[in-house]
Structure 1
Amino acid sequence: MVSLVAVFVSCLLAVFLLTVRTRNRLANVLFGVFILLNAVDISSWFSNQFLLRYPTVLVFKATTGAIINPVFYLYALALCYSDFRLRARHLLHLTPFVLVNLVLMPRFYLADAAAQSSFLAHFGSTPEATFMLVLGHLQFVSYTVAVFLTLRKYRRAYRENYADTSIITHDWLFQLTVTLTVLHAIVVLKNALGFTPYSHLFNGFELLVGINATCILSWFVLKALYNPGLFRSIDSTIAPVEDLQAEKAPAAPAAPAQASPKIEAQLSRLQAHMAQAEPYLDPELTIQDLANHLNLPVRELSLLINHHLGQHFFDFVNEYRIQKAKRLLKDDSRKNLTVLEILYAVGFNSKSSFNTSFKKHTGLTPTQYRSA
């Protein structure tokens, strides 16, 4: 019953993801496919008995599990990078799926009905089953590591090039990957019990996996409903500053104190633009926007702020926002403005990020600063 509910919720969420209109449709489609593949896997708890009459369909359904991890990795890439597109080279991610089916070809797919039935009856002790189990776990580990590395690079690039500190895409993917890792660990433990004297606990763990799957899928639904604007992606060509430094100067980079006249002129121009034009008032300001204002290459501006000023882009922008907020808080003619109105007026879009940044720069909360 639990598995049936999980599959039903999965299908509802997948339909929502595949039909909702968003700017990042590819990510939604890949996540919808990921949900459906998991639904197919979960459905084994109530559909396998029926599919015994169709052994080829039953086994092929089991092999689709080899597509789940690659699809999740591609989903992570599509969610993090706005310019990500599926290419022919991404078909290489189907290699484990193809390999598993090729391994099953001689003794199952090409065998007669009687041989297929015998194969299924002893499937757990066959070399093919061991191969699928080991490959599945290795695949999960490798793709999970790849997702975490992608998130690490995304977070670094985002913090260095975007002014909004609430990295909802990173937080969502990180939470999701950790949750899936924990769930996978439970599945591994469940499978291991089958080879121990405690195999009687197998059914209990199977129920636990089903309940967890249902709860996680419900979490997906709530996340999608409460965050219809998910998620904030970046351009994949935006590299972390360390990479830009390595490209520009493989040797040790010059210290900020030794900045060239050109750098000094660019810094003065940047600071004058921030003070006069106040671009930081735009809550959606990105380093690409600021580079366009200054007619500078985005990579050059990124190095200028992150390396020569020694600040992440969001720290650089928020410093101007906090200075503006301090002036407004102390302005007697603006006493009628609430703290919430001021934080929106200076470019912040959340009270928590404003309070955190304000206290970081002043040691006081906005309310304390106003009354001091």
Structure 2
Amino acid sequence: MDKINVLIIATIITLFISLLLIFFLLTVKTKDKTSNILFAVFLFINAIDLTDPLFGLMFDGPSNLGMFKTTIAFFQIPIFYLYVLSVSYSDFKLKPKYLIHAIPFLIVNVVLVPRFYAVDAASKMDFIINRRNMIELQFTHILIHIQIIVYFTTIFMLLKKAKKLYLENNAGTHINSYNWLFQFTTVLAILYLIVIVKNIFKFSEYPYISEGIKVGIMVLQLFIICWYLFKALNNPDLFRNIDSKLKLVKDIVSEEKTNTPTVVSDKEYNEELLKLQRYMNEKKPFLNPSLTIQDVSNEIQIPVRDLSLLINHKLEQHFYDFINAYRIEDAKSILKDITKSKVTILEILYEVGFNSKSSFNTAFKKHTGFTPTDFRKSL
């Protein structure tokens, strides 16, 4: 089977799976449709970009539609960036200001008007044949490479901040979703890095290497989409947990150093700490798997800002770890209780406020050095 046939088969299979996933994202029942719609748009734009082999079979020679289809790729990473924003922040809404992300797409199409869009078919063919010497295409490739680097750098910084905000303000187990999204973004970044390498060879003396890499990219995209489909089917409700207006503790501390600081006496600090510890031991709010720092603040009447500084700064613990420490202590008590020796690890993790076996095992080992099963056996 020759290379062209492999490319066409990979294209058809990938398009089919992409359309299946798009259908799933648009029809699955969830209260937050925006994230699903954005990812569906990302997949649709990616699917359009994948149609090059099929497009070549349907049309003879270059066309305005074909070139326009190629430039739509400038929307891929911006849409993925908006998708990451939407799943990271609970108050995300599509706003007119996001149209700014369309600027590279508009610039490229304007640049292509004089010597491609506005000329006859023969001139278009000459433009494509001499593409390695056409400054417009060189500009287009440089711009999209810059776009890829800038956006992925921004996305990784966004995920790092969102995860830290989550740890400082939430004690749910959705942290696994952030880890998964980071992994998925990393895989996509590697894929686009391969695309950059392919494009470099495309304008070199070895264009055939570019074509070989293109086949590999098609196959890799197929596996990535299948992987995401598997994840999406197992996690139909995408998380949205953080208010974008929240500030990191380090920023709050920095503000207090800049502004006139509020003097908090050791006595007041100790009173707040005792109040917090008494509430945790008596009311056991950590049994709520979706507990937030706002919930605790409302119950003990300590402002969120002060409570956040108390836990995340003074105690030098993320709220997430602070709450999990209580959950693990409760789990240890159950594991030590001889009368509850028949209670399974799964039942225990749900009882103490976890709703994920992986997060329970990770937290338990972090606080005790043992897995729950090993801890029970050591007694």
TM-score of the aligned structures, taking structure 2 as reference length: 0.89
Match of 1:201 among 209, 212, 216: 209
Identity between Structure 1 and Structure 2 (%)? 43
Distance 1:235 1:176 in 2: 23
Partner of 1:308: 314
Partner of 2:275: 269
Distance 2:108 2:351 in 1: 58
Shift of 1:70: 0.8
Instruction: Please list every run of 5 or more consecutive structure 1 residues that lacks an aligned counterpart in the other structure.
Output: none
Please report the RMSD computed on the Cα atoms of aligned residues, expressed in angstroms. Answer: 2.4
Distance 2:374 2:23 in 1: 49
When residues 366 and 175 of structure 1 are mapped into structure 2, their CA distance, relative to the original with a 3 A threshold, is closer
Shift of 1:368: 4.6
Q: Which of 173-182 and 229-238 deviates more?
A: 229-238
Q: Is the 8 A contact 2:173 2:354 kept in 1?
A: no
Q: Is the 8 A contact 2:86 2:240 kept in 1?
A: no
**Residues 42-75 of structure 1: CA distance to partner in whole angstroms, max 9, x if unpaired?**
1112213434467121111111111111111111
Match of 1:69 among 69, 73, 77: 77
Q: How does 1:1-372 map to 2 (within 5 A)?
A: 1-52=9-60, 55-165=63-173, 167-250=175-258, 259-370=265-376, 372=379
Q: Is the 8 A contact 2:256 2:262 kept in 1?
A: no
Q: Is the 8 A contact 2:159 2:178 kept in 1?
A: yes
Distance 1:168 1:369 in 2: 23
Instruction: Please list every run of 5 or more consecutive structure 2 residues that lacks an aligned counterpart in the other structure.
Output: 1-8
Residue 339 of structure 1 aligns with an amino acid whose one-letter code is: I
Shift of 1:362: 3.3
**Residues 96-121 of structure 1: CA distance to partner in whole angstroms, max 9, x if unpaired?**
01111111122233334544444344
Q: Is the 8 A contact 2:311 2:319 kept in 1?
A: yes
When residues 259 and 305 of structure 1 are mapped into structure 2, their CA distance, relative to the original with a 3 A threshold, is farther
Q: Secondary structure at the match of 1:64?
A: helix
Q: Is the 8 A contact 2:62 2:124 kept in 1?
A: no
Shift of 1:183: 1.4
When residues 246 and 225 of structure 1 are mapped into structure 2, their CA distance, relative to the original with a 3 A threshold, is same
Residue 44 of structure 1 aligns with an amino acid whose one-letter code is: D
**Residues 133-156 of structure 1: CA distance to partner in whole angstroms, max 9, x if unpaired?**
000100000000000000110111
Shift of 1:204: 2.2
When residues 168 and 253 of structure 1 are mapped into structure 2, their CA distance, relative to the original with a 3 A threshold, is farther
Q: Which of 239-248 and 166-175 deviates more?
A: 166-175
Distance 2:273 2:265 in 1: 10
Residue 274 of structure 2 aligns with an amino acid whose one-letter code is: S
Distance 1:367 1:215 in 2: 35
Distance 1:292 1:52 in 2: 68
Q: Is the 8 A contact 1:159 1:165 kept in 2?
A: no
Residue 354 of structure 1 aligns with an amino acid whose one-letter code is: F
**Residues 3-34 of structure 1: CA distance to partner in whole angstroms, max 9, x if unpaired?**
12112211221122122222321111111111
Residue 233 of structure 2 aligns with an amino acid whose one-letter code is: L
Distance 1:49 1:211 in 2: 20
